[in-house]
Each structure stands twice: as C-alpha cells, then as structure tokens.
Amino acid sequence: ATSIQTKLGKKPQDIKSVHGFIPPEVGLTDEVPREGWSTSTAVSFVARTFPTVRLGHDDAPALSVISKILRSLYLHREIREKGGAYGGFAIYNREDGLFCFGSYRDPHIVTTLKVYDAALTFIQSGSFNDEDVKEAILQVCSDIDKPDTPGAAARKAFLRQIISLPDETRQRFKERLLDVTRNQVIDAAEKYFGDDENHAVAVISSEDRLQAANKSLVDNPLRLNRI
C-alpha cells in the first residue's frame, strides 16, 4: 500500500466517499416473463411457474400435497399418456414459495399450456378423494425423509442457513403435513390457483415450433429468443 501511495503521490480516495452509494444496474421489471428459447431440438420443454407462500406458512403443507396429486392423478395422464411427452410434473418449492409445472421431451407446446390451465381447474374442483390425499401425504413424507449423500446434505444445510430456515419451522411443517385434509387442499387451490396473471412461462423448442405456437397464442405470445 505504501509503494502505491508513493507512486500516486497521495492516498487514493475511497469511491464511496467520492460518489456515495452506487446502486447495481440490475434491469428488474414488474413484467411477468413469457419466453420461448429456440435451439436445435425436435421436442419441447414447457414450464410454467407462479408465486405462492413459503415453508413457514400454514398453507405450505397443502401446497406440497397438491403437487403430488396433480402429478399422479392429472399431469401424468394428460401430458405423458395422452400427449406423448416423456413426462410431466408439478413441483412446490417450499424454500422459494414457487409452484411449478413442467414437461420434458414434449411434442406439444400450446396443448401442454392448456393442460396446465385445466390442472388448476381440476384441483380446485376437488375431483379426488381422501385416499388420494393420504397417498400424496405419504409421497411428500418420503421425499422429506429420504437419505441424502453427505454433499447434498451439506448443500441443503448451507441453503437453510442462508435463508434463515430453522429446524423448528421444518418440524412444524412435517407435523401439519400429516393433518392435511381434502378440504384444506381445495381451499389452498382456490386461494393460490385462481389468478394466472402472475404465471411465468418458459419454453425450449425449435424455432419453427415456437413460431407455430405463437400463432395460437395471439393474445399473449411468447417472446422468442435463441440459445
């Protein structure tokens, strides 16, 4: 530091003292993205996500159950068996509070987006029984209790530390999960799945397929980009 000051002739001034706080230039907007990304592929990968609530909220257990019900009772049938995709799924990310739909190696785009719309209606209608709810609870419990490798366990512990997620909150979630009822599932679906204005969409497919999809999505097209 002394040699640098000697060469400069004076002590360099701290940038904050000269300019004050300099905010980072991050281009955040309130716009909900609807994007299509083109690449060399003969199939599509169709995702849709929207915000709900995080792990500590009372509705978090019901949302976890909803993700399993939708995957088992609706998305597998509509996207894989009828649509011909390799798979379709629903995921509730408890740490981020995001609910996601996805398909992979999918021959469709618009049809799959319509399936996601219909899935929201399906879960709100209560077209499932108490046994379906119990089975979904067991699936969530299995995900929670499955053993992790040391590396995966360390990553999860680090993430929980970063987002200030205490073990007590996780334990309360597990306790409430065991008591989730069919009515709670329907109530949570009606609360969080009714408004699709904040639903982001991202599709990876070929340029031709994306352009063809946009012809059907005239009112709300995808913004097309290239990978």
Q: Name the percent of the chain lying above pLDDT 90.
A: 72
Task: Calculate mean pLDDT across residues 194-219.
Answer: 94
pLDDT beyond 90 at 159 = no
Q: What is the CATH number of the domain that holds 122?
A: 3.30.830.10
pLDDT beyond 80 at 207 = yes
Is residue 20 included in any domain, yes or no?
no
Residue type, 80: R
pLDDT beyond 90 at 10 = no
Is residue 68 included in any domain, yes or no?
yes
Q: What is the pLDDT of residues 100-142, one digit of tens each?
A: 999 999 999 999 999 999 999 999 999 999 999 999 999 999 9
Is residue 15 included in any domain, yes or no?
no
Q: What is the pLDDT of residues 17-42, one digit of tens each?
A: 544 555 555 555 678 899 999 999 99
Quote the domain boundaries for residue 50: 31-226
Question: Which of the four pLDDT bands, split at 50, 70 and 90, describes residue 166?
Answer: confident
Is residue 211 included in any domain, yes or no?
yes
Is residue 1 included in any domain, yes or no?
no
Please tell me the total count of domains within the chain.
Answer: 1
Q: Is the distance from CB of 85 to CB of 105 less than 8 angstroms?
A: yes
Is residue 19 included in any domain, yes or no?
no
What integer pLDDT is reported at residue 153 of this predicted model? 86
Is residue 23 included in any domain, yes or no?
no
Supply the DSSP symbol for 190: H
Is residue 215 included in any domain, yes or no?
yes
Q: What is the pLDDT of residues 47-79, one digit of tens each?
A: 999 999 999 999 999 999 999 999 999 999 999
pLDDT beyond 60 at 12 = no
39 contacts: CB under 8 Å, gap ≥ 6 = 204, 205, 206, 226, 227
Angle subtended by helix axes 60-70 and 182-192, to nearest 10: 90
